[in-house]
Structures are given as structure tokens and as C-alpha cells.
Structure 1
Amino acid sequence: MRDIDIRRALLVRLLQAHNKDEDTRIVQEMGVWAGTVRIDVAVLNGEMSGYELKSDSDTLARLPLQADLYSKVFDRMTLVVGSKHLEKAATLIPSWWGIVRATSSEKGVKLRRVRASRRNVNHEPYVVAELLRKDEAVAVLEQHGLAAGWRSKRVKLIHERLARELPVRELSKHVLRALKNRQDWLRENSVHQLDMAVDAQLNPMF
């Protein structure tokens, strides 16, 4: 059972769950921390939910770092993991993360919830702000009357100002709205990572 098999099964489940909800976007490989790590699948609607996949053929070497960074951003997180790594992986993630076991069957990959996710209450404001591209970040400054003298500044400074000036819950709402409204999810990687913090592919089934 490979990562792509688990991903396929998860996407089918998520698309079935949200196919009548026009407010939901399902995004693969969404970058966090200026794109240095990428969540396997993100679901964006009234909150931002992440799904990290670990098949039996994967290792757990990067999971502690991924868990730390994703926990700074997402409202909910779920680890989808093969049986081989289930017990060990559960010790490497926060208790509020959900866990789904992935097993092989004659009909494909079967997903079964082991632990429900709970809402995250410890977001990191700067890491949340960093999900915004520069034009999106400036737009948030403008909405709050904070843009004068800041439009030409480096995006890192703009992210810092947003994190400093806005309550994290308000900032998270702006970020979620920007991500859901973003149209050009397919544009390629740029060397200007901080100007393009999210690079993803929308709903590619296979």
C-alpha cells in the first residue's frame, strides 16, 4: 500500500463528503512555512483542516517536524496512517490530532477513524500570516487601514505586521478567505518563496 493509494481513497471520501458544499475547497500539497513543508491534503471551508498521510512504506522521520509546523496553522489535523506505523505515529503527534487507519482490502484502501480530531487552540500568528502571498497580505492591511507606507515593503515584514496587529482569530479568517478565493493554484514554484507561500493543485483525483 503506497502513499498514492491512501491519497486516492482519502480524496474520494472528502469529495463525497463535500461535493454539495460550494464553500469547500480541497487542495493538495499546500505549502506551510514559505513552502518548505507541504501538507498532503487541506480542506478549506469554515475552518482549515489538514490531512497528513503516512503509508506503510513511508518513514516517520519527518513527522515530528511536520506535526510542529502544521499545529501552528491548521484548525484541525488528521493523520492517515498505515497499520505498520499506527502505534508509533500516535506518540509523535499532539493529542488533538485525529487518526485514521488505512488498510488494504480487495476493494482498495479502507479508511477507519481511530480518533476524532479536536479544534486547535494554539495557532502561531506569523506562520498563519505567512500563508498569504504579498498581494493578499497587502489587501488585509488595506481592510484594516494599515497599508499606508507598507505596500512596497518586503512580504516578510508585512507578515510580521499582520501577526502583530491582528488578533489571531481575525487573522485566520482573512487567511482562510484568501485561500478559498485564490484562483491560480496551479502556478509553478518560484525562487521567491516568500511571495508565494502556497503552491497547490486543486482536486486532482489521480
Structure 2
Amino acid sequence: MKSGDATIEVPAESSRAAEKGKAPLIAVTATPHENRKYKKGIAIFDFILRIGAIVCILAAAAAMGTSDETLPFFTQFFQFEASYDDLPTFQFFLIAMALSGAYLVLSLPFSIVTIIRPLAVAPRLLLLILDTVALTLTTAAGAAAAAIVYLAHNGNPNTNWLAICQQFGNFCQQVSGAVVACFVGVLIFVLLILLSALALKRH
């Protein structure tokens, strides 16, 4: 240091101290173990929902398939009877419920595979596609049957469709219960699709 000159040395630590106010950015990512555990939980919930969907769809099919009522007053030539096979819409409903129920039963092994191998993409993607097809079929059948049930309860004066539920109470109660069970199954299908999409998104 020369005379008359003042030289101040700034330590390197002081320059770093000025940057202490800036918090470092830390990237937080899920570990493979956490990701596997998360997807396994989704797969277990998926399996439970499929069991519930099977119960709802089979209940809808059973209620529709056994909907048959004959009024107590009839003559030798006329007999008043209401049955699901009198209407093609209800026949389609029963067939659709049988197909959806069979698919759900066949999908259980694939759901078990996703529990054993939660990181596998192929079975999860297959379930997502087939669940979407089953959802479309079930929704179409339920909506068509719901329209007929509405007419059975309320009728339609413009088309001379008479309300029959005052006479065929048990018949209307069974087909209405079948439609309600069908739409519960539709809701479960929606949840299954959302779970599959969520599991694939975090892959």
C-alpha cells in the first residue's frame, strides 16, 4: 500500500452475504418410491370402484329383467300385462347392462395387474379406452330407458301416451330402480376414467 492511498480489501464472504436475501430455487420431485406408492393407491381404489360398478349394473339388469306385472282384473279374452320385453328400449337397456356387467367382470384381472405393477402403462391405457366405450353404452341405455320411464309416470297428451304407473305400480317401481342403479354405474365409470387419466398423467 502506497502512502496517501487507502486500499480496503473486501472479503469474498461479504459479496456472498449480499445475496443471502435471495432464496435458492429447489426443484422438488417425487421419488420413484413415492410415485409407485401413489399409483398403487389409485389402482386399489380403481379395483374397489369396479366391484361397486358390477353390483350397480347387475342390480339394474336384474330389476329390469324381472319387471313384469299383470293386473288382477282380466277377462277370458283380455289380460292387462306390463313387461320389459314389450318395449324395445327396455330390451336394449337389459342387453347394454349385460354387456357392461360382463366387461366389468373381465376388467378385474387388468385392474389387479395395475395393483401389482402400478407403473405399467399398457393395462391402464387399455382400461381407460374400454371404460370410455362402456360409459358411452351405459349412458345411452340409461338415457333411453329414463325417457320411457318418464312417459310411464307422466304420459304425453300430445301423442296420446297414457300414464300407466297408476295401474302398474310395481312395474314402474322396478324399472325406475333399474334406471337409478344404471346412472349410479355411469357415475362410477366417470370416476374410473378420471382415475386412469390421473394415473397416466403422473407417469
Give TM-score scaled by structure 2 length.
0.28
Question: Which structure: greater helix fraction?
Answer: 2
Question: Which structure: greater strand fraction?
Answer: 1
- Based on CA coordinates, which of the two structures has the bigger radius of gyration? 2
Give TM-score scaled by structure 1 length.
0.27
